[in-house]
Amino acid sequence: MYLTLLFSQSLSSGTLPDEWKKSKVVPVYKSGNRESPLNYRPISITSIPCKIMEHIIFSQVMNFLDSNNFFHPSQHGFRKNLSCETQLASFLHDLHSNLDHNIVTDLIFLDFAKAFDKVPHRRLILKLSHLNLHPNVLNWIKEFLSNRSQSVIINNTASEFLPVTSGVPQGSVLGPLLFLIYINDLPSHVSSNIRMFADDCVLYRSINNNNDHISLQNDLNNIKNWCDQWMMVLNTNKCKFMSVTRRHNRNHIPFTIGNTPIDNVNSYKYLGSTITNDLNWCSHATNITSSANKTLGFLKRNLRSAPQHLKLLAYKTLVRPKLEYASPIWNPHQNYLTDAIESVQSRAVRYIHSSYSYNISVSSLKADSGLESMVHRRRIASLSLYHKFYNSSLRHAPYILPPSRISLRTGHSYNVARPCARTVACSSSFFHRSAKDWNGLPHHIASIATPTAFTDAITRFFCEQSL
């Protein structure tokens, strides 16, 4: 009751307690030289009552913006029914389609330097004032951004509180939404394709002639101009150029940001997935199996004598997610890659049961632990993601098309068209592969609209098929 009165008074008066605008920042090491402050991520600890109030404001503002179709469709970050997977699936669909038709696609991966920290409050408030938000909400956000301060804590020692004059408050609930609002008009300044997940941004274009290269460079110039106008900074050393093509030894015309040429790379880690210039997932599979094996080795050293149920929980929590992040996107068709990924689980299950004798079948150990094959789990995950596309506004994108006709004998009314593919890479890509599995589902399963119920249904369906 007290918090309700406090929140009501705060919103109606447009004022916040000073404690709500203070943050305690703990630097967390990322990678590289530990002596460099640039290699630490600031984690902010903010007021709990303020977070609750932020959730209220967040819901009001997000619902208002969504109902008015405010956000650019290329932005998948921090939005309902959108994710890294939906972003990657949409992006790679474009790349696979071009590669399948032997069309070159030039990509520029953009890196904003300290993007969330650079947002100037005055310019952010200017953009907020054009959204037609309720005056009480707008005034509350203005006050939320003003007179903020933070203290840095290192080795249990806190600095004095100093003023914060720029940046959306990290660690806050509203911070990501405010950043999305600030960067939302960026795509309107380019004619090429652009994909964004918060500040992760990739600009790309089909290259059929030199004019296409010029257009892509002009768009890059426009982004640089936008950054200058809105006080954002591109980290030119981390921006990369990649050309997706089946052609060997293609001559690349360099792209530049200002007067600085962009490095040309053959692979790039985008949203956690290693994308290569031939759209082969070998490098990604190698990276994730290496990372998972390192974590499994850590468990073997530190939980050697732990109970079996604890080992199993540790595997499911710390190892398996490394093998499954965005798996519908990179799900490999090559047996040697699927075997390499499954081998991590095989080693893990022997560790879980402390059974290293090859007289005991690893398959029986997996069955005893209730561990399905990784191939099976990727199939479930792929169909679940496809279901999300089919049952959301994303269905209207050019990824899921109705069939030219429906066979009542072999299909159902939810059937989709299977696009033609000339290359193995394209035919095994997410939308092509999942369309086949989707059309093979019974009508009563394909008709399920609820994501959780659908996933449960296909899990039971495939289990019954394997009996």
> pLDDT at position 167, please?
87
pLDDT tier for residue 408 given thresholds of 50, 70 and 90: low
Local structure of 203: helix, strand or coil: strand
What pLDDT does 465 receive? 79
Strand locations in 5-65 (E): 22-29, 40-45
Query: Which of 38-47, 58-67, 223-232, 389-398 has the least mean pLDDT?
Result: 389-398
- Give the amino acid at 157: T
**Between these two residues, 464 and 322, which has the higher pLDDT value?**
322
**Can you tell me the distance from the alpha carbon of 41 to that of 147, in angstroms, rounded to the nearest whole number?**
23
Give percent above pLDDT 70 in the chain.
97
For the cut 90, the answer to whether the pLDDT of residue 382 exceeds it is yes
Q: Given a cut of 70, is residue 113 above it in pLDDT?
A: yes
* pLDDT of amino acid 405: 62
Per-residue pLDDT tens for 426-440? 899 999 999 999 999
Q: What is the pLDDT of residue 397?
A: 66
d(CA 204, CA 351): 45
> Is residue 220 within 8 Å of 99, Cβ to Cβ?
no
* Residue 250 DSSP label: P
pLDDT at 467 over 60: no
Residue 153 main-chain phi, psi, to 5 deg: -115, 120
pLDDT > 90: percent of the chain: 74
E-assigned strands of 92-155? 104-110, 148-154
Mark out the alpha helices in 165-307 (DSSP H runs). 174-183, 210-229, 282-302
Pair of tokens at residue 47: 């007021």
Residues 62-78: pLDDT tens digits? 999 999 999 999 999 99
Q: How far apart are CA 17 and CA 13, in angstroms?
A: 12
pLDDT digits (tens, 9 = 90+) for 222-270: 999 999 999 999 999 999 999 999 887 777 788 999 999 999 999 999 9
Find the mean pLDDT for residues 173-193: 96
Tokens of 436: 């086949």
Cβ partners under 8 Å of residue 105, min gap 6: 94, 95, 98, 99, 204, 205, 206, 207, 243, 244, 245
> What is the reported pLDDT for 156?
86
Residue 421: per-residue pLDDT: 87
> What SS3 state is found at 114?
coil
The Cα–Cα gap between 459 and 453 comes to 10
Looking at residue 29, its pLDDT comes to 86
Does residue 33 register a pLDDT over 60?
A: yes
Mean pLDDT throughout 294-309?
96
166 DSSP assignment: B
- The DSSP annotation for 214-249 comes to HHHHHHHHHHHHHHHHTT--B-TTT-EEEEE-S-SS
Distance (Å) of CA 323 to CA 227, 299, 338, 370: 37, 16, 11, 17
What radius of gyration do the chain's Cα atoms show?
Answer: 25
Question: Hey, how many other C-beta atoms are within 10 angstroms of the C-beta on 223?
Answer: 23
Pairing of strands 200-207, 104-110: antiparallel
Q: What is the reported pLDDT for 234?
A: 95
Q: What angle do CA 12, 14, 19 make, to 5 degrees?
A: 120
Contact 223, 186 (CB under 8 A): yes
Q: Among all chains, which residue has been given the structure tokens 């790309």?
A: 204
**What confidence score (pLDDT) does residue 394 get?**
67
For residue 27, the cross-strand partners are: 42
- Apex 78 CA angle, 76 and 84, nearest 5: 50
Buried-state track 328-366, b at ≥16 Cβ within 10 A, e below 16: bbbbbeeeebbebbbebbbbbbbbbbebeeeeeebeebb
> How much of the chain is helix, strand and coil, in % rounded to 5?
50, 15, 35
State the Cα–Cα distance between residues 121 and 142, nearest whole angstrom: 9
Q: With contact defined as beta carbons under 8 Å apart, do 183 and 196 qualify?
A: yes
Segment 273-302 shows an average pLDDT of: 97
Supply the pLDDT for residue 404: 62
Query: Is pLDDT of 338 > 60?
Result: yes
Tell me whether residue 110 is exposed, middle or buried, using C-beta atoms within 10 angstroms of its C-beta: 0 to 12, 13 to 18, 19 or more: buried
DSSP string computed for 163-200 = EE-BS--TTSSHHHHHHHHHHTTGGGG-SSEEEEETTE
- pLDDT category at 2 given cuts 50, 70, 90 is confident
Q: Write down the pLDDT at residue 295.
A: 98
Q: How far apart are the first and last CA of the chain?
A: 56
Q: What is the pLDDT of residues 353-381, one digit of tens each?
A: 999 888 889 999 999 999 999 999 999 99
Dihedral angle over CA of 249, 253, 246, 91, nearest 10: 150
Contact 388, 400 (CB under 8 A): no
For 424, which DSSP code?
H
Q: How confident is the model at residue 411 (pLDDT cuts 50, 70, 90)?
A: low
Judged against a pLDDT cut of 80, whether residue 412 lies above it is answered with no
Q: In whole angstroms, what is the distance from residue 343 CA to residue 346 CA?
A: 5
At 83-103, the pLDDT tens digits run 999 999 999 999 999 999 999
Give the integer Cα–Cα distance in Å for 168 and 123: 12
Mean pLDDT of the chain: 92
Token pair of 365 as six digits:
């150990």
- As given in the structure block, the two tokens for residue 122 are 């005055």
